[in-house]
């Protein structure tokens, strides 16, 4: 049992970990995939670096700093968060328990470049199986994705819908699953007022009532929706102490919206880390 589990190892997550650890909390940081900082060639507007610093170096330095302080940092993809009395965080490898959780993943909602996706968002296209699965009871749906996140979404749907298939949109999938997998590249999503069919590049089609998007790994808003956190569009709503409407669940960084800058993420991370540590005590 940890005091705090932090999801995300960018500036917000690492800052939260550093402050929580120094406040006496037992902290685990989980992260997976590419950080937005990795794409930053040079950061010139951050305090203390006379000649700037590249994002990848800043990101890796933060992780090493956390480890040097004695924080446990693991590279594992998080699939699900649950709360009964305490929190359970499920990854592709393990389940972990904590008194408090901080979501600092950034906003990773990905939209596939497929004709018809934007047109039918909210009209048969969804980004959350638990949120919208009920509306497709006994209907035929597909999940677009090629990783554990996609399989997890399909699992959330299988006992609600009539049939669910996973479409990888041309990508190979190396996962153990009983779901039917179609790897053919998708050409277009068709329908009149709502989604009705998917057309593939080879000319074949399948009739569907709903499409669930699950690209890459789950992001902060995905976790938030599943545990009942209030959102403003895709941004997690927090109070002045970075706590969500779920007791013991905090959030910080890009996933809360506002100015998407390192300085803002670090400030919010510090507040979240101290508030979560106080909550645990």
Residue 173: per-residue pLDDT: 79
How far apart, in whole angstroms, are the C-alpha atoms of residue 179 and residue 133?
17
pLDDT at 121: 86
End-of-domain residue from the set 188, 213, 238: 213
pLDDT tens-digit map of 70-119: 999 999 999 889 999 999 999 989 999 999 999 999 866 678 889 999 89
**DSSP 8-state symbol, 138:** T
- Do 260 and 254 form a contact (C-beta atoms < 8 A)? yes
Instruction: Please tell me the predicted confidence (pLDDT) of residue 159.
Output: 93
Q: What local confidence, expressed as pLDDT, does residue 39 receive?
A: 66
206 with 228, same domain?
no
Q: How many CB atoms lie within 10 A of CB 190?
A: 17
Strand ranges inside the chain, DSSP E: 2-7, 27-31, 72-75, 78-83, 87-91, 95-103, 125-126, 140-144, 163-167, 180-182, 186-191, 195-200, 205-207, 210-213, 231-232, 235-236, 249-251
Map tokens 């399948």 to a residue. Answer: 206
Mean pLDDT of the region 49-61: 91
Instruction: Examine the fold and report which residue of 168, 188, 213 is the final residue of a domain before the chain moves on.
Output: 213
DSSP state letter for 117? T
Residue 113 lies in a domain: no
Percent pLDDT > 90 in the chain is: 67
Domain-located, residue 181: yes
Residues 51 and 75 in one domain: yes
**143 in the same domain as 195:** yes
Answer whether 248's CB lies under 8 Å from 87's CB.
yes
Alpha helix (H) residue ranges in 119-195: 129-132, 148-157
How many domains are contained in the chain? 2
| Mean predicted lDDT score pLDDT of the chain | 91
| Nearest residue to 62 (alpha-carbon basis) of 78, 80, 43, 90 | 43
pLDDT at 33: 76
Residue 116 covered by a domain: no
What does pTM read for this prediction?
0.78
Q: What is the DSSP letter of 242?
A: S
By residue range, what is the domain housing residue 156? 125-213
Handedness of CA 122, 157, 220, 109 (dihedral sign): negative
Q: Are residues 99 and 232 in the same domain?
A: yes
**Average pLDDT rounded to a whole number, residues 117-125:** 90
Q: 114 in a domain, yes or no?
A: no
Which of 213, 231, 263 is the last residue before a domain boundary?
213
Pair 258, 166 in one domain: no
Read off the pLDDT of residues 164-185 as tens digits, 9 standing for 90 and up: 999 999 988 777 788 999 999 9
Q: Is residue 119 part of a domain?
A: no
DSSP string, 66-99: HHHTT-EEEE--EEEEEESSSEEEEESS-EEEEE
- Give the domain CATH number at 189: 3.50.50.60
CA 100 to chain CA mean position, Å:
17
Position 196 scores a pLDDT of 96
Evaluate if residue 157 carries a pLDDT over 80.
Answer: yes
Distance CA 157, CA 135 (A): 11
147 lies in the same domain as 237 = no
Question: What is the spatial distance between Cα 250 and Cα 104, in angstroms, rounded to a whole number?
Answer: 9
Residue 200 lies in a domain: yes
Six token digits for residue 126: 């969804």
């Amino acid at each position: 049992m940890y005091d705090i589990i932090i999801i995300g190892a960018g500036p917000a997550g690492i800052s939260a970990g550093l402050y929580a650890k120094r406040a006496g909390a037992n902290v685990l940081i989980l992260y997976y995939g590419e950080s937005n900082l990795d794409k930053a060639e040079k950061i010139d507007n951050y305090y203390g670096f006379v000649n700037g610093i590249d994002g990848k170096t800043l990101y890796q330095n933060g992780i090493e700093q956390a480890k040097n302080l004695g924080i446990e940092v693991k590279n594992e993809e998080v699939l699900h968060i649950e709360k009964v009395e305490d929190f359970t965080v499920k990854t592709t490898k393990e389940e972990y328990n904590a008194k408090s959780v901080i979501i600092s993943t950034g906003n990773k909602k990905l939209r596939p470049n497929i004709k018809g996706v934007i047109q039918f968002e909210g009209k048969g296209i969804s980004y959350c199986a638990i949120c919208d699965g009920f509306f497709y009871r006994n209907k035929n749906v597909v999940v677009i994705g090629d990783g554990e996140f996609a399989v997890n979404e399909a699992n959330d749907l299988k006992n609600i819908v009539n049939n669910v298939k996973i479409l990888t949109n041309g990508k190979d999938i190396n996962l153990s699953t009983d779901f039917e997998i179609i790897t053919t590249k998708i050409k277009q999503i068709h329908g009149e007022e709502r989604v009705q069919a998917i057309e593939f590049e080879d000319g074949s089609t399948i009739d569907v009532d709903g499409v669930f998007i699950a690209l890459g790994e789950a992001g902060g808003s995905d976790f938030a929706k599943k545990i009942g956190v209030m959102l403003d569009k895709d941004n997690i709503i927090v109070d002045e102490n970075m706590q969500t409407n779920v007791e013991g669940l905090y959030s910080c960084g890009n996933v809360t919206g506002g100015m998407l800058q390192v300085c803002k993420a670090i400030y919010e991370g510090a507040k979240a880390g101290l508030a979560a540590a106080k909550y645990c005590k």
